[in-house]
Amino acid sequence: GYTPTPDHTKTARSALGAEVFVPWTHHEKTADSLGHLRQMGYRLVAFETAEQALPLDHPFQPVPTALVFGNERFGLSADLLALCDEVRILPLEGVKNSLNAAVIAALAAYEWKKQWNSKP
């Protein structure tokens, strides 16, 4: 992809120092990243406009979870979706069926955290 890593000058400048508090690794291929996350015990939840997708507010399992988002133009490939444990969507009305990737990432993280905090 074309997303810079946290050590990139522009990323560091926009993160204002927060990047040093988040552990990260870099993989050339997304499938390798997903495999690494799975080995670490994460449940992989993709966000994509797919027929089988669950709504965003469907209950999340209370386990460590990696939220997976695709490129705004191309989304996630069928091969990458197959590597994930489930697919979610934010159902929308109107002509457009998706939101900006940063917006859906923020909404998804908020919903996951809200549900995670409500678990006994």
Q: Is residue 61 part of a domain?
A: yes
Instruction: Output the 3-class SS for the chain.
Output: CCCCCCCCHHHHHHHCCHHHHCCCCCCCCHHHHHHHHHHCCCEEEEECCCCCCEECCCCCCCCCEEEEECECCCECCHHHHHHCCEEEECCCCCCCCCCCHHHHHHHHHHHHHHHHHCCC
pLDDT at 1: 54
Q: Which residues of the chain have pLDDT under 50?
A: none
Residue 101 lies in a domain: yes
Q: What is the number of structural domains in the chain?
A: 1
The answer to whether residue 19 sits within a structural domain is no
The pLDDT of residue 105 is: 93
Domain ranges, residue 77: 28-117
pLDDT digits (tens, 9 = 90+) for 66-82: 999 998 888 899 999 99
pLDDT of residue 8: 85
In a domain, 98, yes or no: yes
The CATH number for 99's domain is 3.40.1280.10
